[in-house]
Structure 1
Amino acid sequence: MRVLIVDDHPIIVAGCSAMLADEGDMEVVDARDAETGLAAFIEHQPDVAVVDIAMPGVSGLELARRILAHDPAARIVVFSMNDDPIFAARAIEAGAKGYVTKNDDPWLLVKAVREVAGGGVFLMPKIANRLAFDRNASSANPIATLTPREAEILRMLGAGLGMAEIAEATQVSYKTIANSCSIMKRKLGARTPMELMRIALEQKLA
């Protein structure tokens, strides 16, 4: 089984690679950002891609969408620091088949990779339970009103990117980004791009 890991933290990549390689039947390749991650996916055609959400520039959720645009049958596990069920829901909406947090038992990643490689899906029990039973709390979070693309743009605003930079990174027009920002302002009650940036930081998107 071939596994691609896309994460910008060398220590995490090294640790995950060693853990998966110790399984004996897994070959691991890695990349450090979305651009090289997509190239590695095309070149190596992994059975499973493990992608981090928070990376410089384009996020793991956008990378997941690009991978699936290239190969609709791709099997993707999102590996994130964030255990908020909203982010898990966003990952599933983006086409991921699994979601694992980095602050939990690392062997859950092995379990997720095997489950997804076999055609299944994997959500950590505590996140699955919160998605199922905590819908009111999720809907109270303003981020829940955003589309996956809007959430990605908000994250990039929080990271300090301008609208022209976001347009280039997401491969859409400046006008599309500007329109999305206007829609987000209405949804989130913000008046300026700086207020959108503040919301992104408060919600720990960046």
Structure 2
Amino acid sequence: MKKFNFILAIVITIGFGACKKEGTGGASGRAITDEATAKAAFLKINNLWTATLEPMIAKTEKTYKDETISGPNGGQAVINGRYYKTRISSSSSSTSTTNFDMLITFKNYITDGMTLDGTVRFFEFSESRSACSSSGCAFTNHYSISYDTNDGLDNNFPPLGIQFDNNGSKVNDKILIESGKSDNFRWGITVTNSAGQAFTFNY
């Protein structure tokens, strides 16, 4: 009887431990160990900005100070930064700019099958210029965008916790990301995993 109770106690303890591990959410999943998975993480963050955060922020020109929004599927994001537009014109020329410079701190922010914990700087700038003379008009456009886990002055934030499903496999890692593109060039991206392994690629 004592032997049976001992075995039962072991079974219950193992079962409880397994349930506890599954319930933490942060205890399961594999690290980012190849370029394909690093690219998948970047694409998740890119989609978050282009499909959710940028359209929301672009509704109103203003300065954000510790403004909290809820994640579509849970958690929160705290926004600091500024979104604004400028326009300068004269009889022969004009310049229009749009600026986003946002530090967003995610707190168990859940969206599109992804969970984020940490801070990312989202920067986006576009400029359109026109200049006219007796010989005609010239037009130029410039565009740049970046997502980084630093403040733009080479001061890194703590690694960004990221979890997402990738082709049926759960990914769970803490990463640093440095990415940017300008005008018609391709994205240049570096994702560094929790082991310090860096994956650099273009997209």
Same fold flag (TM > 0.5)? no
What TM-score, normalized to structure 2?
0.21
Larger strand fraction of residues:
2
Q: Could you say which structure has the larger radius of gyration?
A: 2
What TM-score, normalized to structure 1?
0.21
